[in-house]
């Protein structure tokens, strides 16, 4: 059975069939973490296939059924747990999970009063390991990180449509899906799903283009930082590095009334979207197609500085083998960015690399500030003092599960540079 056929045959099987035998796996000790790596499996019984449900037993202190999960023999994370305490994951179980996720966004955070774009399911933190879903107006955009969730996303999204009143959806495998899950699977769109949609956030409009390869089409996790940037931007000269579709730049220009906004990115398609976003908000933004490193060096040679610099690079560390090199890139980027901040100006610097701890990121920024640099004549530029006045994670619709700390991936430092 090829991967496409596997998808067709299993995508509607959201829960195991009641009373049917379920294959099982055994590990040594029970765990609250949803990911069980292949090397932890002591035994596998019942010949489960990729995407099949398995009952999970621990052997110590005694053999006991403690959870249900979905199995994929091709992945390093061989089992992802969805139900603990031996609760059978029936249809009512999934409805409860979704109702809980919606309650946080609607009742606790009141997000529909602020925006029509927000995360409605945040993977492990909402009980859906391997799946994130963002809402954009009447569209739901899902990114699958596991085979089991890819196969079941149609059923989950159908339930969400009924609860939210949304109409369309998109399901995309993550960029690393093939290497991590052992399958190459297509993007799925519902009938009539639009290519793009315009959303609203704190008085700013953004055009979302689906299938761009960047998360689910937009960075909802930076919502609060875009609002904070606008609050500081009146009359300011703002530089948005690695701008993607211009989220920060447009917020500074439209909601913040910045005097001058420059947005830099190496992705021409992203800049084309940023240009549309500037147009629909009727603001002027200087869009620059360039590598951030090269652009910053050019500005330093020209003696250019900014009142506010935003540095939000793409994910630079995707595995532990990339940790050292990725941290060095963060150092180099921040060293240049800090030199471009006018004395007394502000820096927003971010990392979305979950493998880089908050402490390590802050230490990297501090080292970058101290290191200084050289001007166009080779003269030494002394280091700067950075005062962090706020440290943040992702927006609250991206909650952190304490039993799975990887859900707290984003680090954002608001700082004054002296």
Domain CATH number, residue 66: 2.30.130.10
SS3 for 231?
A: helix
SS3 for 61?
A: coil
Domain ranges, residue 134:
91-194
CA distance 256 to 230: 4
Predicted local confidence at residue 1, as pLDDT: 36
Q: Tell me the CATH number at 355.
A: 3.40.50.150
SS3 for 386?
A: strand
Provide the edge-to-edge strand list for the sheet that holds 24-29: 35-37, 77-84, 64-71, 52-60, 24-29, 43-45
Average pLDDT of the segment spanning 243-258: 97
**Residues 273, 321 share a domain:** yes
* Residue where one domain finishes, among candidates 62, 84, 106: 84
**Residues 290, 185 share a domain:** no
* Residue where one domain finishes, among candidates 84, 101, 116: 84
Query: Is residue 144 predicted with pLDDT exceeding 90?
Result: yes
Phi, psi of 103 (to 5 degrees): -60, -40
Element (H or E) spanning 263, and its range?
strand 260-265
| Any domain includes 275 | yes
Which range has the worst mean pLDDT, 28-37, 83-92, 107-116, 130-139?
A: 83-92
Domain count, the chain: 3
Task: Please write the tens of the pLDDT for every residue from 259-278.
Answer: 999 999 999 999 999 999 99
**Long-range contacts at 47-52 (CB < 8 A, ≥ 24 apart):** 47/23, 48/23, 48/73, 49/6, 49/73, 50/6, 50/74, 50/147, 50/182, 50/183, 51/6, 51/10, 51/147, 51/148, 51/151, 52/23
Q: What is the largest CA-CA distance in the chain?
A: 78
**Residues 404, 357 share a domain:** yes
| Any domain includes 289 | yes
Task: Please write the tens of the pLDDT for every residue from 10-38.
Answer: 444 687 766 678 999 999 999 999 999 99
Average pLDDT of the segment spanning 96-120: 97
Predicted local confidence at residue 5, as pLDDT: 38
Query: Is residue 2 predicted with pLDDT exceeding 60?
Result: no
Predicted local confidence at residue 63, as pLDDT: 86
Q: How confident is the model at residue 211 (pLDDT cuts 50, 70, 90)?
A: low
**Residues 95, 74 share a domain:** no
Average pLDDT of the segment spanning 142-155: 95
**Residues 272, 413 share a domain:** yes
| Any domain includes 389 | yes
| Any domain includes 214 | no
Query: Is residue 9 predicted with pLDDT exceeding 50?
Result: no
Q: What is the pTM of this model?
A: 0.90
**Residues 242, 278 share a domain:** yes
| Any domain includes 10 | no
SS3 for 351?
A: strand
**Residues 169, 116 share a domain:** yes
**Residues 272, 336 share a domain:** yes
Predicted local confidence at residue 7, as pLDDT: 44
Predicted local confidence at residue 16, as pLDDT: 72
The mean pLDDT of the chain is 91
**Residues 95, 112 share a domain:** yes
Q: E-assigned strands of 9-106?
A: 24-29, 35-37, 43-45, 52-60, 64-71, 77-84
**Residues 237, 189 share a domain:** no
**Residues 300, 322 share a domain:** yes
* Residue where one domain finishes, among candidates 31, 66, 84: 84
| Any domain includes 2 | no
**Residues 153, 233 share a domain:** no
SS3 for 324?
A: helix
């Amino acid at each position: 059975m090829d991967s496409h056929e596997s998808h067709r045959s299993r995508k509607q099987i959201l829960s195991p069939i009641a009373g049917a035998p379920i294959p099982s796996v055994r590990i040594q000790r029970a765990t609250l973490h949803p990911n069980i790596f292949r090397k932890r499996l002591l035994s596998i019984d019942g010949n489960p296939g990729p995407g099949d449900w398995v009952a999970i037993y621990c052997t110590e202190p005694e053999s006991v059924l403690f959870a249900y999960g979905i199995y994929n023999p091709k992945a390093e994370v061989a089992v992802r747990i969805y139900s603990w305490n031996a609760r059978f994951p029936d249809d009512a179980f999934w409805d409860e999970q979704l109702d809980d996720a919606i309650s946080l966004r609607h009742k606790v955070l009141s997000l529909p009063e602020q925006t029509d774009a927000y995360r409605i399911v945040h993977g492990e933190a909402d009980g859906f390991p391997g799946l994130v879903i963002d809402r954009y107006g009447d569209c739901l955009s899902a990114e699958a990180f596991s085979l089991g969730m890819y196969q079941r996303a149609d059923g989950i999204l159908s339930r969400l449509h009924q609860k939210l009143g949304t109409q369309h959806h998109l399901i995309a495998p993550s960029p690393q899906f093939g290497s991590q899950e052992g399958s190459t699977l297509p993007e799925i769109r519902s009938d009539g799903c639009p290519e793009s949609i315009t959303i609203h956030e704190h008085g700013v409009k953004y055009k979302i283009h689906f299938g761009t390869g960047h998360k689910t089409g937009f960075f909802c996790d930076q919502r609060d930082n875009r609002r904070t940037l606008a609050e500081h931007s009146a009359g300011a000269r703002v530089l948005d590095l690695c701008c993607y579709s211009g989220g920060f730049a447009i917020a500074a220009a439209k909601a913040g009334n910045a005097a001058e906004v420059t947005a830099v990115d190496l992705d021409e398609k992203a800049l084309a979207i940023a240009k549309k976003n500037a147009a629909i908000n009727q603001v002027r933004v200087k869009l620059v197609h360039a590598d951030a490193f090269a652009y910053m060096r050019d500005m330093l040679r020209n003696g250019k500085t900014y009142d506010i610099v935003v540095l939000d690079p793409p994910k630079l560390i995707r595995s532990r083998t990339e940790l050292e090199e990725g941290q060095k890139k963060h150092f180099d980027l921040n060293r240049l960015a800090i030199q471009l901040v006018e004395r007394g100006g502000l820096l927003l610097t971010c990392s979305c690399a979950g493998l880089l701890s908050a402490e390590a990121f802050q230490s990297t920024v501090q080292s970058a500030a101290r290191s200084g640099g050289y001007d166009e004549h080779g003269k030494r530029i002394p280091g700067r003092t950075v005062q962090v006045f706020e440290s943040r994670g992702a927006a609250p619709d991206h909650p952190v599960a304490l039993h799975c700390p990887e859900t707290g991936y984003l680090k954002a430092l608001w700082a004054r540079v002296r």
